[in-house]
Amino acid sequence: MAAPQYRPRARLNEARPIGWPPEQSPRRKAQGPAPRSSERRKQLQRRRRFSILVVVPVLLMLGSIYLHTISAGLGDKVASLQGRLDLAEAEGQKLDVEVARLSAPEKIRTRAREDLHMKDPGAADLNVYQKDGEDDNQIGKEKAQSESP
């Protein structure tokens, strides 16, 4: 039969007399007695120096890497949007040419005659207006009335 690898807790307590101070943890034994306030201040200063000299630059580098990654992704997105913008501008130019071609007077008259069965107006059907929008014949009558006494 094998021997147990640990001592039960009850035996530990029996080995010490009642009222004795409890055993200190192994970590506490390795550190020695409690540090004095001046030693504690030195330890805090060392920790601060460590954090300033090591932790802060590491955090700054990680932030820089993160921002670089984000900006690279945005650069790809900008390039994609620029390509789409160029395609849209080319399409707009094609449509402008098409509008100019379809809005030519001869093209409109031809389509009106063929598709809508319209005809060009004759001289009797046309009325000429001045820039105020009044009929030319009406102006002539008004002038004749105003000149006659």
Tens-place pLDDT, residues 68-113: 999 999 999 999 999 999 999 999 999 999 998 888 888 888 888 8
What's the whole-model pTM score?
A: 0.37
Other CB atoms within 10 Å distance of the CB of residue 109? 13
pLDDT of residue 126: 76
| Residue count (the chain) | 149
pLDDT at 20: 58
- Count the Cβ atoms, other than its own, within 10 Å of residue 139: 13
Rg (CA), the chain: 50
Confidence of residue 135 (pLDDT cuts 50, 70, 90): low
pLDDT value of residue 134: 55
Q: Does residue 19 have a pLDDT over 90?
A: no
Amino acid (1-letter code) at residue 117: H
pLDDT at 122: 75
Strand partners, 135: 129
Q: In Å, how far are 12, 54, 61, 62, 80 from 68, measured between CA atoms?
A: 60, 21, 10, 10, 19
